[in-house]
Amino acid sequence: MSGTGTHRKYIFMGFMLLSLLKLQAQEVSLMNQVQIKPVAFKADSEKLKADTLSIRWSKLINLNAHRVLNNWWPEYADRRNEDGWIDFGYLENNSKTGEFGPETRGGIRPAAQNAYAVSVAVFTDVYGANYIGFSRNEAIGFIKTIVGSLARDHLANGGIGHAWGNQWQSSQWASKCAVAAWLIWDYLDKDTQLAIQTMIAHEADRLLDIPPPSASENYRSNTHAEENGWDGTCLQTAVALLPGLPRTATWLEQSVKYRINSLATADDVTSDSMVWGKPLSDWVNGYNIDNLGALGNHAAYPHPDYMASAIRHAIEGALFMGLAGLDVPAPNFYHCDLVYGNLTDYPWKGDTCIYLPDGQIYWPIDQEYDWRFEYLTYGLADAGSSFYGFDTKSTLKGSDWEEKHTRLALRDEKMAFISSSAYLLHWLAATDYKPGR
């Protein structure tokens, strides 16, 4: 009887191993084919033209696209190799060494963000060729060169010089590069398309083995809310672009874990409240904010910019899933209402909230004081709070604050890729998509 049971056990184990090998072979076969499909939604252009906030964001997009193509791009346009690609890795300043190796931020990050910014402008048809001074076709050529270069230079594709990947922020850059490519998908050659999906799948896969970090008692000086946020967005980007892979469900579950940990409080660590099918304590490794909805970074508490930035990543992850027509997991905006409510309504030092009545930003601390002018980040947080409905703890709602912050951003001619995410969110709102959660 014992021998028979052992025999059955080995048969079962063999069956499971064969099933696993078959699944892995299926995934390898799928990854050798182009799986990503172009965005299928179409926006109501008349609705966008009638929306003051959309118009403001479109102006900010073009301000940034003008800077990218006229000031940033000329420094690199002539540095293509014999195959037409640029090794952005050689530009890097690898002086900061993080837990996962050198921090590559000098060339890869701005290249990915700039490609994304211009790609959104082209995709949404707000690209102003006459103002910017480059035709639409020239802008598409720019995007193709950047995303093709970055994808090929990712270590998952062998690199073209100074390969990048598996680094502290590389998931964030891979996400921006992949979405930039996705928005002009039909203009890319098959080799670039395959390199893009290999890159984003690799960055998502590596996060499956990395627990979301928690600052816990150090949350006032070095929160991990933001990095959990961008890693969660990378996983959601992979879900959006590659929904047909067998491991997509695993990416989605891990993205939920990163989202919950991003803005977890100390109370969450021991909570038995059910979230997405499991007790909250099963999801949480530690905490990154306090019960006020505040956090700190760079030894500065509270740090309003990092509070808004953590929200920004949750919005972008949901946005990219929305572009694929997917429902957003309910925990995606876990505690975003708490943090956003702190920005809008919590009286620091007695009676002054971070969001001032005229839209300017009150900085309760002296350190990094100039960061208070990051109106684009706050404006995206406002837009997302309105669209996704996490402005419930705010007396004045997200769209009202968005009006104030976009007005100030235009006044000061703020230029960054974040304006592209905000406009893309308004573009999505003008389609038939409804954010189910």
Place of tokens 């062998």: 158
Is the same domain home to 362 and 412?
Answer: yes
Of 205, 221, 238, the position where a domain reaches its end is 205
In a domain, residue 41? The reply is no
In a domain, residue 39? The reply is no
In a domain, residue 192? The reply is yes
Tell the burial category of 206 from Cβ atoms under 10 Å away from its Cβ (0-12, 13-18, 19+): middle
Is the same domain home to 252 and 399?
Answer: yes
Is the same domain home to 283 and 376?
Answer: yes
Helix (H) / strand (E) containing 274: strand 274-275
Rounded to 5 degrees, what are φ and ψ at 431? -105, -170
Is the same domain home to 143 and 198?
Answer: yes
Those residues with Cβ within 8 angstroms of residue 6's Cβ, 6 or more apart along the chain or in another chain = none
Show the tokens assigned to 247. Answer: 């491991």
Is the same domain home to 323 and 371?
Answer: yes
Q: Which amino acid is at 108?
A: I
CA distance 17 to 292: 49
Question: What total number of domains does the chain contain?
Answer: 2
Q: Output the pLDDT for position 135.
A: 98
Is the same domain home to 197 and 277?
Answer: no
In a domain, residue 46? The reply is no
In a domain, residue 45? The reply is no
Is the same domain home to 241 and 115?
Answer: no
**For the CA atoms of 119, 121, 127, 132, what is the dihedral angle to 10 degrees?**
-70
Alpha helices in 185-243 (DSSP H): 190-207, 225-241
Is the same domain home to 237 and 363?
Answer: yes
Is the same domain home to 316 and 387?
Answer: yes
For 278, the 3-state DSSP assignment is strand
Tell the burial category of 424 from Cβ atoms under 10 Å away from its Cβ (0-12, 13-18, 19+): buried
Is the same domain home to 259 and 391?
Answer: yes
In a domain, residue 339? The reply is yes
The string over 55-68, giving b where at least 16 C-beta atoms fall within 10 Å of a residue's C-beta and e elsewhere, is: bbbbbbbbbbbbbb
In a domain, residue 270? The reply is yes
Return the axis-axis angle of helices 304-323 and 418-429, rounded to nearest 10°.
Answer: 40
CA distance 337 to 176: 25
In a domain, residue 30? The reply is no
Is the same domain home to 260 and 129?
Answer: no
Q: Output the pLDDT for position 6.
A: 57
DSSP character string of 89-111 = GGG-----EETTEE---SSHHHH
Mean pLDDT per 10-residue segment, the chain (437 residues):
53 49 56 90 96 98 98 92 88 46 66 97 98 98 98 95 89 97 98 97 97 97 97 98 94 98 98 97 97 96 98 98 96 98 96 97 94 96 97 97 98 97 98 84
Q: Output the pLDDT for position 106.
A: 57
Those residues with Cβ within 8 angstroms of residue 207's Cβ, 6 or more apart along the chain or in another chain = 171, 231, 234, 235, 254, 258
Of 161, 187, 205, the position where a domain reaches its end is 205
Q: Output the pLDDT for position 436.
A: 74
Those residues with Cβ within 8 angstroms of residue 22's Cβ, 6 or more apart along the chain or in another chain = none
Domain of 358, in residue numbers = 208-437
Contact 284, 225 (CB under 8 A): no
Place of tokens 């001619």: 413
Is the same domain home to 113 and 260?
Answer: no
Of 163, 190, 205, the position where a domain reaches its end is 205
Q: Output the pLDDT for position 120.
A: 98
Q: Output the pLDDT for position 88.
A: 87
